[in-house]
Amino acid sequence: MTAPHIRIFPHAQEEFPSLDTLTTWLLTGLKARGGRYLLRNRDAVAELPPGSLVLFRYGQVVVGEAVVIEHSRDSTVSERTLAGDAQEYGASVLFSPSSIRLYAPPVDVDELQRLIGDSPNISMAVPKYKIEDWGLYPRLLAHVVKCGAFI
């Protein structure tokens, strides 16, 4: 098994038309689902071991985080999006519901890049970034509390 790490999950405007839509869903919908999060593409994330941290991105900001309990690419499910459209999902992640929290205000992607350093370059909004330097997390937490709070 691979070691826990940090990933960034981007969110599309087609599924979440606004930042408020996403943040409301993270705090209410995702928690109400017991932390069950669906990924459209089975291969979007190859591995996501328990204890990994996922940062939720919307456009050019990171809005929050959650800790992984389990990641599965074993089954395809069909569910409705927030807009009511049928959608097939190829993978799922189970987050600890109590670990789901938002950053108020959100962290700008450029600031997160500064905290990460040069590698990986997170300018593109794709879930492939695997950050294994856990030194990022205390730097991120310090930035969040310096600039605002957790929700």
Q: Report d(CA 123, CA 88) in Å as an integer.
A: 27
Query: Which pTM does this prediction carry?
Result: 0.91
Read off the pLDDT band of 40 (50, 70, 90): confident
Beta-bridged to residue 149, according to DSSP, are 104
Report the pLDDT value the prediction gives residue 122, as an integer from 0 to 100: 85
- Of 103, 96, 47, give the one whose Cα is nearest residue 71: 47
Q: What is the pLDDT of residue 83?
A: 66
Give me the residue spans of the domains in the chain. Answer: 6-150
> Tell me: domain 6-150, CATH 3.10.590, correct?
yes
- Count CA atoms within 13 Å of residue 59 on its CB side: 11
- For the ranges 39-48, 59-68, 130-139, the maximum mean pLDDT occurs at 59-68
Q: 1 falls in which pLDDT band (50, 70, 90)?
A: low
Percent of the chain with pLDDT over 70: 94
Is the separation of the CB atoms in 124 and 83 below 8 Å?
no
Range with top average pLDDT, 81-90, 100-109, 124-133: 100-109
* Residues 111-129 pLDDT 10s: 999 999 887 888 876 666 7
Residue 65 scores a pLDDT above 80: yes
